[in-house]
Amino acid sequence: MISVVIPAWNAAGLLRRLLDVLAKQTVEHELVVVDAGSTDDTARVAREAGATVVASPQRNRSLARNLGVAAAHGDRIAFTDADCVPAPGWAEALGVCLESSELAAGPVRIEAGARPNMAERFDLLWRYPQERYVAAGVATSANLGIRRDAFDAISGYDRRFHHGEDTDLCLRAADAGFGLTWCPAAEVAHPAATRLRAVARRGFEHGASASRLARAYPGRAGRRYWTSPGGLIRRGAALRALSVEPVDDRGVELAARIDYGSRIAGSLWAEVVRRAVR
């Protein structure tokens, strides 16, 4: 059986949508929701959908996913997030991919409204290059499957990584000899950021975790954004840093610069406030 593990914090509305969609999955599965101290109806929504509910003592995504796996009964685990919307065949496809590989990751398709604003247009352009991530041996947990025995063998997520925890997990899995396969049939939709403030916050967290990953995995993962501020100055450079060809859209260019600037700020913060790992 495959167990779907979802960390959630004050996400009752999004979670209701996700659990409705998961009820239409084409394969039998178990639902585990880990509630990190929500003050809204998150736990009740999960309970009503028949999910196993775990209350985590901390707001930490790594810990939450570890707790979810500990409470799960499946021999295969599928991770997604409360704000995602998996396709009906998602869990089944991921389960099949996990027969030939210990880890499997599928596409994360960004969705936006009919008239996307600049933050949404920016996200539509670059997020998530999951196939490219998988080719580099990593994947985002928004759509990641792993065999339970492999997860246990590497002691799950490292809770010292609050962000970048999925990269760390995949690299440790690779070191342990586990394979990660691209699973194109297991699709998950994810909403684009709708506000520049959200782009900035995400960029900051990404910059900080990229610095920590660079320290933990020199030459292998992560990046110290503050050492290359050029992306902020040269036109189109912020987009090229995300492997996207620049487009003739001033809004997107602005969002990309805000993202890149936030990454620099986050990487500086991680270097100075050495909440270091390893």
Closest distance to other proteins from the beta carbon of 277 (Å): 14
If you count them, how many residues does the chain have?
278
By CB under 8 A, is residue 54 in contact with other proteins?
yes
By CB under 8 A, is residue 1 in contact with other proteins?
no
Burial class (CB in 10 A: 0-12, 13-18, 19+), 274: exposed
In the complex with other proteins, the residue whose CB is nearer, 66 or 101, is: 66
Q: Report how far residue 247's alpha carbon sits from residue 236's, in angstroms, rounded to the nearest whole number.
A: 8
Binding residues among 125-164 for other proteins as defined by CB under 8 A? 156
Q: Report how far residue 237's alpha carbon sits from residue 166's, in angstroms, rounded to the nearest whole number.
A: 26
Among 27, 49, 71, 185, indicate the residue that binds other proteins (CB under 8 A). Answer: 71
Among 43, 139, 208, 214, indicate the residue that binds other proteins (CB under 8 A). Answer: 43
In the complex with other proteins, the residue whose CB is nearer, 19 or 43, is: 43
Q: Report how far residue 139's alpha carbon sits from residue 169's, in angstroms, rounded to the nearest whole number.
A: 9
Q: Report how far residue 171's alpha carbon sits from residue 161's, in angstroms, rounded to the nearest whole number.
A: 13
In the complex with other proteins, the residue whose CB is nearer, 33 or 213, is: 33
By CB under 8 A, is residue 53 in contact with other proteins?
yes
Ramachandran region of residue 215, left (φ > 0), alpha (ψ -120 to 50) or beta? Answer: alpha
In the complex with other proteins, the residue whose CB is nearer, 54 or 94, is: 54
Rounded to an integer, what is the distance from CA 167 to the centroid of its chain? 9
Among 55, 135, 176, 276, indicate the residue that binds other proteins (CB under 8 A). Answer: 55
Among 47, 59, 201, 220, indicate the residue that binds other proteins (CB under 8 A). Answer: 47
Among 56, 140, 141, 167, indicate the residue that binds other proteins (CB under 8 A). Answer: 56
Closest distance to other proteins from the beta carbon of 164 (Å): 20
Q: Which stretch binds other proteins (CB under 8 A): 59-67, 80-88, 113-121, 235-243?
A: 59-67
By CB under 8 A, is residue 199 in contact with other proteins?
no
Among 10, 52, 117, 228, indicate the residue that binds other proteins (CB under 8 A). Answer: 52
By CB under 8 A, is residue 112 in contact with other proteins?
no
Among 21, 27, 70, 232, indicate the residue that binds other proteins (CB under 8 A). Answer: 70
Residues that bind other proteins (CB under 8 A): 43, 47, 52-57, 63, 66-67, 69-71, 73, 156
